[in-house]
Structure 1
Amino acid sequence: TVYAIIFSVSMVGTFLRSQWIVQAGPRCSQVLFSEMMERVQHAPMHYFETTPLGRILNRFTYDMETVDITLTEAMSMLLTSVGWMSAGIAVQIAILPWQILSIFFIFYVYWSLVLHSRKSAVDLQRLDAVSRSPVQAKLSECIEGAPTIRAFHRSHYFARTFRDTLDENTTAMMNFMAAQRWLAVRIQLVGATGVFTSVCIVVSFNEQLRLPAGLAAMLIIWSSNMTISLGFMVQAISESEAAITSVERLSAMATIPQERTPIVGTTPDPGWPTSGALTFHNVTMRYREGLPLALTGLSFSLRSGQRCGIVGRTGAGKSSIALALFRLVEIEPTGSITLDNTDLATLSLSDLRGRANGLCIIPQDPILFAGTLRDCLDPFGEKEDAEVYEALRAVRIGNAGERNMVE
């Protein structure tokens, strides 16, 4: 009966622990990733101009991997060690009640070590994670600027700066690992001391205690197991607390500023815009707070069907007009941009851009996304094959009549 109860409790505990790890861990990661992706996709342009690309990539790669794997494994080890440790304490007290004094002493020493270690462990883990962002940023910069770097014969310079950045990350990582080893060595020493104490008590006072050989052996075995479990628990607490810094950084992504959208917006007709009459009235725009104005009191009108070319020196505001038109950068409230007598500031961003018959732009720098050519030409799958072929013929790209051109 006793073994049946122990077996049943063990099965229930293992099942609950496995369900928590298998379901709660991935669900937490999914929620964090979805929220972070949503915030980044709707962040204004100045966020990407002021935030290094390596930092964003680090959040989506290293920090997500830490939450998905490292934190889940550490929490699993923590639950397992707590179960084993609780069982070990119960068995030892049942065999030898005086063993509770040794257990209290071991707990006190272990907890003192944890409190001393956590003063630096979290910050060292944070330094390790933060120092990874410059590595990814440097790598992406070198790959994208490889032609320019070679043209100016600066390959050795950039290779040296990349190695320096990599050394900084390695230094932070080694300091964190050294702190973990420092704690592990002391935990093992304290654990060995606890086992040695149990053995000394059994050997020295067995005549007074009158413990059978089987119970004495069980006391020593469970003393050793509890020490091992307590070591795993302390290590799991330290690793979990260090991995929580990734959750902290992922949660901070929820504070990313978002593109402005009207609280009560105007819903345009499905066919809007119909004529394409465009009016800029006293448009003033700056890219972000604290920067000088890029557009100052700009006013002009374009009739339906009229073509307009904007000419100016670098920095005159040519690109700024397009950014203001698509609301990639918001204008000051003193001005307005109207299209077919509809103020663009009153529309939601989904109605202004990214929908059929909406505003479209041909970017200055062409981009081919992963996938087929057809996916790049018609990413939303709204056009027929004949229309895709016609677009290819219009720009004279190969034999547009062949299906393998778009598949």
Structure 2
Amino acid sequence: NDALQNGTQHRASTRVGVYAALGLSQGVLVCFLLYSGSGEDAGRTQAAPDMLDNKFHTPQSFFDTTPIGRIINRFSKDIYVIDEVLPSTVLMFLGTFFASVSTMIVIIFSTPIFALVIGPLALIYFFVQRFYVATSRQLKRLESVSRSPIYSHFSETITGTSVIRAYGRNTAFVLLSDMKVDENQKSYYPGIVSNRWLGVRIEFIGNCIVLFAALFAVIGKEKLSPGLVGLSVSVSSSAGHYVLNWMVRMTSDLESNIVAVERVKEYSETVTEAPWIVKDKQPPPDWPPKGNVEFIDYSVRYREGLDLVLRNISLEVKGGEKIGIVGRTGAGKSSMTLCLFRLLEAADGEIVIDEVKISEIGLHDLRSKLTIIPQEPVLFSGTLRMNLDPFEKYSDEEVWKVLELSHLKKFVSNQASKLELECSEGGENLSVGQRQLVCLARALLRKTRILVLDEATAAVDLETDNLIQSTIARS
């Protein structure tokens, strides 16, 4: 009977109490981890909304110069790393750190002479980890940058699928995609190789810990009890091959993945447009009462450092007038509409609407009083009513009225779901002419005094063109 021989039946209540305390401590720590996990869920709601809010207020020039794949990359991979990878890495690092500290305490308590080699081994750990992190961080950054063209190419391919198939360019686009993936792998694969480089070296140092723990146990065998020797060797074995290795890995991964925070922070702090509302410069609620628009020596450029696209333009449009602007391609016709909505800011001069300088008021106060029908109609996934009245400001009677004015009432009435007709992404389930008429109905519903048409009938058939022209003439 081993219990009788080694005396473990003595102080049974004390031993049971220790095990009970350990179990209780484990339960408390599990509750703490669950709580920290819920805090992590709350914290992860900040990075993406902050960046999204900044992008909603970013000037148009940013989107003109930034590939869409780079933006998608920030909102997908980088946000995933911040929300999912970094929290688990931090928790793993803290767990392995405290486990490493407790392991070192146990080994030193068992074989005090082991303290002599902790310093040199820690120094080797430090230099290996620094060398790895310096390489890994740059590889991670290069991999993130080279991933953006893959997203851009995929997005462009999906958008132009019909054209690619029509011209038989499927193989060319597949090869182009493969080239971009290969370029990305040039940074991704070395990252895996560097990880294995780190693994070999920290495994070697871990084996050194086991070696020294066993060596010092043999040297001091006359002063140590067999139980302490066994404890020291078993603990050093687990520490060398798991705890310390994972602590170094987690430290390295933490520093490498923190690049995602840097990239998201960069896009969360880009220069934004003018304020949406300027409290002390808000126009009256009924502004503009007449709809007079005046350009005074107005000049504008698309970005700093580029040539002026409009130079010293001066003109006056009276309220109620229907004015057409004619010019060759690139003359600046669309640029004038961008200036009116302050998507481009003035390089010189002013635009005045009913004696109010638009450069002094908030963007929301300005744009909410203007309406534009673009050359390419824009519809969102959702119901027809949502596309006409996204903020639900108008009654069904008013919506039906503008559908009648835009010659869409018959079409919508024949649909089983009426105003709840589902529009697919981009309004693909409607013809181009119907989409343009929906945009016309949306413009009529807003009842603004200034309506801008940027070649609104250029992409529609003659019949739809006549409908739009007649509707505008009556309005």
Deviation at 1:290, TM superposition (A): 1.8
Aligned residue for 1:297, secondary structure, equals strand
Deviation at 1:13, TM superposition (A): 5.7
User: What amino acid sits opposite 2:50 in the alignment?
Assistant: E
Deviation at 1:150, TM superposition (A): 4.0
Q: Write out per-residue CA displacement over residues 113-133 of structure 1, whole angstroms, 9 at most, x where no aligned residue.
A: 102211201001111111110
So what's the TM-score if we normalise by structure 2? 0.78
Whether contact under 8 Å (2:114, 2:212) holds in the other structure is: no
Query: Hey, what's the Cα distance between the residues in 1 that align with 2:193 and 2:132?
Result: 11
Higher relative contact order (CA 8 A, sep 6+): 1
TM alignment of 1:2-401, pairs within 5 A: 3=18, 16=32, 19-23=35-39, 25-202=40-217, 204-205=218-219, 207-211=221-225, 213-227=226-240, 228-261=242-275, 266-332=281-347, 334-353=348-367, 355=368, 358-397=369-408, 399-401=411-413
Aligned residue for 2:222, secondary structure, equals helix
Deviation at 1:102, TM superposition (A): 3.6
Query: Hey, what's the Cα distance between the residues in 1 that align with 2:57 and 2:89?
Result: 33
Larger Rg: 2
Moved more, 387-396 or 296-305: 387-396
Aligned residue for 2:313, secondary structure, equals strand
Query: Hey, what's the Cα distance between the residues in 2 that align with 1:248 and 1:58?
Result: 13
Matching residue within 415, 419, 426 for 1:406:
419
Deviation at 1:56, TM superposition (A): 0.6
Deviation at 1:28, TM superposition (A): 4.4
Deviation at 1:258, TM superposition (A): 1.2
Q: Residues 235 and 18 from structure 1, CA distance in 2 versus in 1: closer, same or farther, beyond 3 angstroms?
A: farther
Deviation at 1:86, TM superposition (A): 1.5
Give aligned-pair identity as a percent: 33
Aligned residue for 2:316, secondary structure, equals strand
Query: Hey, what's the Cα distance between the residues in 2 that align with 1:308 and 1:250?
Result: 45
Q: Residues 15 and 51 from structure 1, CA distance in 2 versus in 1: closer, same or farther, beyond 3 angstroms?
A: same
Q: How many residues align?
A: 400
Deviation at 1:19, TM superposition (A): 3.9
RMSD over equivalenced CA pairs, Å: 2.3
Deviation at 1:138, TM superposition (A): 1.0
Q: Write out per-residue CA displacement over residues 277-305 of structure 1, whole angstroms, 9 at most, x where no aligned residue.
A: 11111111111112221111111111121
Query: Hey, what's the Cα distance between the residues in 1 that align with 2:34 and 2:237?
Result: 25
Deviation at 1:15, TM superposition (A): 5.2
Query: Hey, what's the Cα distance between the residues in 2 that align with 1:48 and 1:92?
Result: 59
Name stretches of at least 5 consecutive residues in structure 1 with no aligned partner.
none
Deviation at 1:369, TM superposition (A): 1.2
Aligned residue for 1:361, secondary structure, equals strand
Q: Residues 18 and 108 from structure 1, CA distance in 2 versus in 1: closer, same or farther, beyond 3 angstroms?
A: farther
Whether contact under 8 Å (1:282, 1:336) holds in the other structure is: yes
Name stretches of at least 5 consecutive residues in structure 2 with no aligned partner.
1-13, 421-475
Q: Write out per-residue CA displacement over residues 50-99 of structure 1, whole angstroms, 9 at most, x where no aligned residue.
A: 01100011000000001011111111110110121121112222222122
Query: Hey, what's the Cα distance between the residues in 2 that align with 1:297 and 1:241?
Result: 53
Q: Write out per-residue CA displacement over residues 327-347 of structure 1, whole angstroms, 9 at most, x where no aligned residue.
A: 010112x31111111111111
Query: Hey, what's the Cα distance between the residues in 2 that align with 1:241 and 1:255?
Result: 22
Query: Hey, what's the Cα distance between the residues in 2 that align with 1:320 and 1:380?
Result: 28
Q: Residues 61 and 86 from structure 1, CA distance in 2 versus in 1: closer, same or farther, beyond 3 angstroms?
A: same
Whether contact under 8 Å (2:113, 2:216) holds in the other structure is: no
Aligned residue for 2:400, secondary structure, equals helix
Query: Hey, what's the Cα distance between the residues in 2 that align with 1:347 and 1:330?
Result: 13
Query: Hey, what's the Cα distance between the residues in 2 that align with 1:223 and 1:286?
Result: 68
Whether contact under 8 Å (1:279, 1:301) holds in the other structure is: yes
User: What amino acid sits opposite 2:314 in the alignment?
Assistant: S
Q: Residues 18 and 95 from structure 1, CA distance in 2 versus in 1: closer, same or farther, beyond 3 angstroms?
A: farther
Q: Write out per-residue CA displacement over residues 181-219 of structure 1, whole angstroms, 9 at most, x where no aligned residue.
A: 2111221222123223323433x33541231x3322221
User: What amino acid sits opposite 1:221 in the alignment?
Assistant: S
